[in-house]
Structures are given as structure tokens and as C-alpha cells.
A and B are shown apart, each in its own frame.
Chain A
Amino acid sequence: MVQYNFKKMTVVPCGKDFIDIILSRTQRQTPTVVHKGYAINRLRQFYMRKVKYTQTNFHEKLSTIIDEFPRLDDIHPFYGDLLHVLYNKDHYKLALGQINTARNLVSKIAKDYVKLLKYGDSLYRCKSLKVAALGRMCTVIKRIGPSLAYLEQIRQHMARLPSIDPNTRTILICGYPNVGKSSFINKITRADVDVQPYAFTTKSLFVGHTDYKYLRYQVIDTPGILDRPFEDRNIIEMCSITALAHLRAAVLFFLDISGSCGYSIAQQAALFHSIKSLFMNKPLIIVCNKTDLQPLEGISEEDMKLVTEMKAEAMKTVIGQGGEATNDDGVLLTMSTLTEEGVISVKNAACERLLNQRVELKMKSKKINDCLNRFHVAMPKPRDQKERPPCIPHAVLEAKAKQAAEKKKRTTEKDLENENGGAGVYSASLKKNYILANDEWKEDIMPEILDGHNVFDFVDPDILNRLEELDREEGYTQAEETDDFEMDGMELTPEEQKALAEIRQKKSLLIQQHRIKKSTAESRPTVPRKFDKDREFTSKRMGRQLSALGIDPAMAINRARSRSVSRRGRKRERSLDKGDTDGAGVVDMDVDTPKKKLHVMSRPHSRSRSRPPTDVVPGEGFKDSSQKSKALDKARKSVKNRNKNARRGEADRVIPNLKPKHLFSGKRSNGKTQRR
């Protein structure tokens, strides 16, 4: 079965482009280098190959064009006629004929010149012969340029023709312009035909597909037909006439009973009678459209008479098919595409009539007997007259009814939303289904951030249990303490008890601290006391603790201060270990040694921690401050981390050579520059 899809035709190039394509192909695909000194046979062969290659290509391309364009006599008469109406058969054939002659001419030229090339005795002669041959072939193609352009236009138009299968179930819609044919097809199929208030909006055939009883039907929308003699019809009307004439389809004749299309019922009836010969052997249905503007009962007497006349004609087709004479429902139908009433029934009626007709025809044909003989539908014979309807138990019916009722009872959130104003107005309360201990808490606002912390990080559902546990622990310790207040059977006085409590508290504190230290000691190295960076072990603290014990701390503090690191450099001082006589005050010291620039320690204790880092302290080994600062710098830089990110560093700086001389010199200006 030929698929009438004209979209697959290859593009027909215009004359000039055609020549360019073929010649450049010859230049690319055949060897290009030949020298004067080659053997004469080789030269001849070289040029003969080019001539032959060009001819083959021309032949091939022209043959594809000729083969792909359909032959008007070989295709279905509907398409043959349609193409004749659109493009004029004679011009079309002439154009294709010209292409054919061009093809033959090109072959002849190639043959002649190949014969001549055999006598070529020099490179120049062979070359001129080849040039002459190709030139003549190209002239031939240049001459058929207009035909090629014409064929290209036809091809473009053909590609946009609807692919109508002439043999399948088809419904054809015809009538005056503006009666509502395109609106109807838009309603029953997915074809999106343009609907406009002016006449001849539809200028060509449009096809849509619809289903009925599990079968696919083609619905063809035609341009409107005016009531004119046959010779005066223009191309657009001829398209619909062609479709009517050649397609075996159910015909829907549209009638606009309101007259809003601009033509009266009389005119439409006249049209009907003038084309009724085309409705031979086709199931015909007269459709009265636009009943929303004017119901069928309300039209005038004469119009009613015309309509009944048309109906009578349509009945003839029914009778002619051997249908029941009394069934006239399926002949005259009313509908309105605007309000969509009656549309489906029209479609169903048309499809039904068409199907019946086709089935009948098939049954009458001889081929069907081969199939009929092969299958047999068996119907069981009834045993007795008893009626046996399907049996459904009562419980199942009840359950079904209940389910149906339940489905309706529950109000969904969507219903609530619709009741209360719609999507933008109503916002559902997400908290109404919360499960809380106290229902009044549902609407409470829950804080999220407190004191810079996330509240939810600290929320623990078992917190009350934990609290209880803790309490219990504490309760135990307290119980222990109260038990222990009785030491060795003796009761203690309240002061003693107090003191005991204090001692015990302190002890427990110490134990806790020790435990903390012990727990962290595994993960962190412990800093020995002399390096305390938190400055915990100050002399003030010692003073506080001593005074808490009841001892005067002054002497101890002095002693500590005399041993402090900041005073290590003082060699010439009298040591203060032996006595506490001169706590304050310094014995005169030789501070003016020019070589050792020692910092004047006038106020050692208050400035023990306020020395600038570049200060050279005796005992460090530096000559002076600048050397120390240099040493510090070095130390700082040496600890810098290595850049292991494989990123370019300072040491990786490269100065590229963007214009190497060897690539920019030479005679060539264009072309590849990898070498010159």
C-alpha cells in the first residue's frame, strides 16, 4: 500500500547550486594531480574518469528527482486529480520530461567526449576535452533551471498536503462557506483548523482522525463550495469537488439554517441539488448547524419544504443501500457546534452509516467467502425457557453502596479549601491534627532560637526521665553524706559538721577536677604547670589560697617573685635566698655595661610580662635585638606550610614565547602554522 506521504521527497536544487554541487564533488572525489610526463594512457584515463564521474552523478541526481515525484497516472485517482487541480498536469509532466531529456543529453555528451578522449595525444588536448565536456553538461543543466525551480516549489507545496488514505473509512464534510464545517472537525478531532468569520478561511483540504467502535475514521474538511457552473470554479472549490468525486466516504452536507453565513437556505438547497450527482452511492447525512441561533422548527414554510426535499434525496441513498426505508433518523440531524449539542450524535450517525455500508459491500464481494468459510461463531442453544440473570449476593451490593456513601462523607482538605474561598484565600491549618498531651497547646508558638542557640538542639523527649535519674543520684549522695556525719559512733557538733561538710565538698570538687583532667588527658597532652598559658598559677592565686588557710602570703609571694624568670639575668645581684630582709628594693647593680645592653630592670615585677618580643633577654644567645628579630623572622617563615595543592606558586612563574619567530616568518600568510 503506497503511503501518500510527500514529505519524503528530496529537495530539488536550483540550477546553479546543482552544478556547483556536482562539480565540487568531482573535484573532491577524483584524483587531482597529473603531470605532463605521465604515460599517455594514464593521462587519458585520468580525464576520462572525471568526465564519466560527472556524468554518473548528474544521472543519479536527476534520476532521483524523476523517481520521487509521483506519476499522476500511477497513483490513486483522487491524488491524481488533486495534483492536477493544484499544479496543472501538463506543466508538471513537461517539467519532468525536460529533466528526463536533460539526463539523456548529459549521457550522450559524456559518451561522445569519452570517445574523443581516446585520441588525445597530449595533456593539453585531454584537458581541453574534459573542460569542454563538463562545460557542455553544465550548460544543459543551466538550461533546465526554470524547470528545477518549478519542481522545487511543487515539492514544497506537496509536502504540506494532508496525508489522506483514499481507501479507509472517511467522512467528508461539505457545504457553503462559513456554515461551520471547520468548527465541527475541530470538535470531533484534534485537527486545529483555523476558524474565522470570513468566507474561504479554509483554502485546502484538512484531515483529522476520530474513533468510533474501536475503529479509526478519517474526517476531511473541505473548503466551502459556491453555487456556480462547473467551468467557473476556482482551484480551491475544485479541491473539494475532487474529494467528493473520488473518495468513497460518508458525506455530511452542512446546512446553516440561521443564515448567519450570509447565504439563505434557498441558495444552499440550490447548491445541494447541483452537486447531488456526486453523492451517488455514498451515505449522505444532512446536518443542520447553528441551531442555537435558529431552531429547526422555527424556520419558514418554504425553507422547511426545501429541507424536506433535500431529506428526500438523502433518503434515496439510504434506500439504495438496502437500508430500512423507515429509518429516517439518521438522515436529517440538527446540532450546534457552539453549544456542542448534537455533535456527537451526528458523528455517531455518520460513522454508523458508513460502517454499515462498508460491511455490506464487503459481504457482497467474493473475497469474503474465503474468510467466511474459515470461521464459525458458535452460539449455545438455550436448554429451556428459564431466565438466568447474573447473580450478585446481597452483602456485596450493600458493601458497595456503603463504600460509595463513605467516599462522599469524608470532607477532604481540597473541599474545605474550595468552600472557604479557593487556593489563594484559604490557607490550611497544618497544626490541627497534632497529637499533644494537652489540646490547648496546639496553637502555641514554639520558639526556635534562644540565646543564640537552636532550641531544637536541646530538646530531648526523655528529658523528664533524665532529670529524675539525676535527682535520684543526687539523692543517693546526700543520703550517703547524711549517714557519714556520724563518725565512729560519735555525734559531731554543728560546727564540726559544717567543717566536715566543707571539707568533703572541697574534696569532692578536687576529685571531680581530677577526673575531668584524667578524662581529657588521653586525647590531649597535658601542659605542665610551668608552661601554663591560661595563667592559672599566679602569685595572686597563691596569695588567695594561703589567706584562705589563714596564713599571711606576703613573704611567700616575695619569695616567688624573687625566683621569677624575669630576674634570671641579674648576675651581679646579691641573692635574696637567705633572707627576707630586703624584700623590695634592689642593691645597686652595674647596669651600664656598654657591651651587654641589658634592659634596666627598675621595676622588675610589674614589667615581668610586658617586654616586647624583639627584646633580647639575657640568656637567649642573641647579640642584639636586630639579630633576634631576624632570627624570629626566619623561624616564622620556616614554619610556613608547603603548598601541596599543585597550584602555581611564585617559583613557577613562566614567561612564554607567544610569537616564536619560526612560526611567523616565511612566505605563507594563511594556512597551518605548525611548521613553515
Chain B
Amino acid sequence: MPQGDYIELHRKRYGYRPDHFERKRKKEARLVHKRSEIAQKALGIKGKMFAKKRYAEKALMKKTLAMHEESSTRHKVDDDVHEGAVPTYLLDRDNTTRAKTLSNSIKQKRKERAGRWEVPLPKVRPVAEDEMFKVLRTGKRKTKQWKRMITKATFVGPGFTRKPPKYERFIRPSGLRFTKAHVTHPELKCTFNLEIIGVKKNPNGQMYTSLGVLTKGTIIEVNVSELGLVTPNGKVVWGKYAQVTNNPENDGCVNAVLLV
């Protein structure tokens, strides 16, 4: 049976086929044509994937080519005109520039109007009530329609107990409850899986805040003790705010960005 490095041994003893190198060279030369044939003929999802791969390769190739081509040559230098430099026949005139100057007060007022927080997602799409709630018919004849089931992701605290089923108006299904969020630190650019402490504010309304609904743009408070942040006083920071950046009900997870 072939054992050890039998391929190399065979090569050492008997050498290559007489036409081995020729065939290899020709096969490699033919690869180019074959690739182009595939690129032209592939249809459907295969074609798309191939085109994407090929595009990435081409971009890379172009970059390396450009890199190889750049050489230290001398170009003619255009003298930059300085700001405010003026030709001789205009030397005696005063140049006035117009600019919009905003007074400080106006800036302050604008900020107040915008809200206290500067958040990454200032505006979000409003969520309609029929999108948020699903009507559940109850009762013996299924005629009562006062119960609602929330169709979006929610957060309920660890000590949450349901109201007695007969009286609860809003049902938060357990399959849609999330406890953890993927929080990105905007400066460090890395993501952590942190526990949610609570929902601070939902932009769609105060009712949703109290229900604990997590939609895009919701401000949540997360437990950052594993980041090891410390206040200048020396106290350990263990809770920070973050804003939800995706639609959790579509993605199955809560992605948020930390508000520093």
C-alpha cells in the first residue's frame, strides 16, 4: 500500500511525465478562458455570487496594479493660491465675505427644542397601533376584543409576574422577550453582549415605554460592569444608556449603540 510520502518518492524515482510541464502550463492558460465562460453563462444565484466574488477580486487587482504603477516621478506643481490672496489690480479693495453667523442663543434654543440627548438616531419611523398590537378575541362567543398581544420585542424585568390572565389587557408573549442586547461602543467599535436593565424611553409613546416595548430608536439602560468603566471619582459605572438601532422583531436580536 502506498505509505509515507509516496507521491514525492515516485517523483524522485521516475520524474515527471514527459509532457507534464507543458500540460500544466496549458491548463493554467486555459483557466482564464474557462473563467470568462463561466462568468458569461452562469445564471441565477450562482451567477450573482460569482459576479460578486469577481468584482471584489477585480477591485483588489486594480488597487495592486495602481500601487505597482505609482512611481516617484516629477509633476509640474501648481502654486496654491492662498486664501485671501488677491491679484494686483484688486489690492486696494476691501474684500467682504458673507457668512451666516449664528448667535449663541439661537444655537441653545435649537438644542433645547431637539431634546436633551444627542442620540445617534434622532428620528424614527412612527409605529402604528395596529402594527404594534394584535387583537385577541376572548370570551365564550369570542366577541370581546379588549385584549391585545404585543407583536414587537419587549423587555420585562427579572421580577416580572403576569397579572391574572382574566385581567391582563396587554399580553407580552415570552417568545418575544429579550434580556440581552448586542451593544456597540462607538469609539472602540467593538460589540458586547450586555444585559438590559430597563427601558428608558420609547420614542413612539409613553405607553410603550411603560410596556417595555423595544423598537428601533428606544433608549435602554444596559449593564456595563464587564466593560470596567470608572468615574473620575473612583466609582465603578455599571449602568449606561444605549439606543436600539435595528428592528428586533425582524432580526431576532437587539442591537444597540452605547451612548457615551
Contacts and interface: CB of A to CB of B under 8 A. Distances in A.
A204 interface: yes
Contacts of B83: none
A163 B6 CA distance: 14
Interface stretch (B71-79, B101-109, B218-226, B249-257): B249-257
A670 B39 CA distance: 13
Max count, chain B CB within 10 A of own CB: residue among A24, A160, A203, A204: A160
Given A132-B253, A194-B9, A119 B151 contact: yes
Contact of A161 (B3, B9, B175): B3
B45 interface: yes
Interface string B236-260: 0000000000010111110000000
A53 interface: no
Interface string A133-152: 10000000000000000000
Interface string A640-676: 0000000000000000000000000000001100000
Contacts of B176: 116, 119
A520 B175 CA distance: 113
B51 interface: no
Interface in A104-130: 112-113, 115-116, 118-119, 121, 124-125, 128-129
A125 B249 contact: yes
A206 interface: yes
Interface in B4-36: 4-6, 9, 12
B20 to A, nearest CB: 21
A162 interface: yes
B244 to A, nearest CB: 15
Contact of A128 (B12, B151, B251): B251
Contacts of A133: 252
Contacts of A206: 3-4
Contacts of B43: 670-671
B54 to A, nearest CB: 15
Nearest to B49: A20
Nearest to B6: A160
A287 interface: no
Contacts, number: 55
Contact of A162 (B4, B5, B41): B4
B134 A121 contact: yes
Interface residues of A, number: 29
Contact of B251 (A27, A132, A203, A670): A132
A129 B175 contact: no
B157 interface: no
A119 B250 contact: no
B3 A132 contact: no
B165 interface: no
A207 interface: yes
A125 B251 CA distance: 8
B186 interface: no
A182 to B, nearest CB: 11
A161 B5 CA distance: 9
A309 to B, nearest CB: 35
Interface in B105-153: 134, 151
Given A194-B9, A194-B12, A162 B1 contact: yes
Nearest to B10: A192
A447 to B, nearest CB: 49
A128 B252 CA distance: 9
Interface in A192-211: 192, 194, 202-204, 206-207
Nearest to B8: A194
Contacts of A203: 4-5
Nearest to A135: B251
A203 B247 CA distance: 60
A191 to B, nearest CB: 8
A209 to B, nearest CB: 10
Contact of A129 (B45, B151, B252): B252
A27 B45 contact: yes
Contacts of B151: 119, 121
A132 B182 CA distance: 14
Nearest to B150: A119
B250 A163 contact: no
Contacts of A194: 9, 12
B205 interface: no
A160 B175 contact: no
B2 interface: yes
B250 A670 contact: no
Nearest to B248: A116
B202 to A, nearest CB: 19
A129 to B, nearest CB: 6
A319 to B, nearest CB: 36
Q: Which one of A24, A192, A671 has the greatest number of beta carbons of chain B within 10 Å?
A: A192
A119 B176 CA distance: 8
Nearest to A124: B250
Interface in A292-306: none
Nearest to B2: A160
A162 B6 CA distance: 11
B111 to A, nearest CB: 36
A116 B252 contact: yes
Given A27-B45, A116-B176, A670-B41, A132 B12 contact: no
Given A162-B1, A163-B1, A670-B41, A119 B249 contact: yes
A204 B253 contact: no
Interface string A181-225: 000000000011010000000111011000000000000000000
Contacts of B2: 160
Contacts of A191: 3
Q: Which interface residue of B2, B45, B175, B251 has the most chain A CB atoms within 10 A?
A: B251
B29 to A, nearest CB: 26
A525 to B, nearest CB: 68
Contacts of A128: 247, 250-251
A183 B6 CA distance: 17
Contacts of A161: 3
Interface in A3-60: 24, 27
A119 B6 contact: no
A119 B3 contact: no
Contacts of A162: 1, 3-4
Interface in A72-113: 112-113
Contacts of B3: 160-162, 191, 204, 206-207
A125 B249 CA distance: 7
A113 B175 contact: no
B214 to A, nearest CB: 14
Contacts of A121: 134, 151
B77 to A, nearest CB: 48
A129 B9 contact: no
A160 B173 CA distance: 57
Given A124-B250, A162-B1, A206-B3, A116 B41 contact: no
Contacts of A24: 45
A191 B45 CA distance: 51
A192 B2 CA distance: 9
Given A160-B2, A162-B1, A204-B4, A132 B252 contact: yes
A358 B173 CA distance: 72
B251 A119 contact: no
Given A116-B175, A132-B250, 15 more contacts: A24-B45, A115-B175, A119-B151, A119-B173, A125-B249, A125-B250, A128-B250, A132-B252, A160-B5, A160-B6, A194-B9, A203-B4, A203-B5, A204-B4, A670-B41
Interface of A: 24, 27, 112-113, 115-116, 118-119, 121, 124-125, 128-129, 132-133, 160-163, 191-192, 194, 202-204, 206-207, 670-671
16 contacts: A115-B175, A116-B175, A119-B175, A128-B250, A129-B251, A129-B252, A132-B250, A132-B253, A160-B2, A160-B4, A160-B5, A162-B3, A191-B3, A194-B9, A206-B4, A670-B43
Interface of B: 1-6, 9, 12, 41, 43, 45, 134, 151, 173, 175-176, 247, 249-253
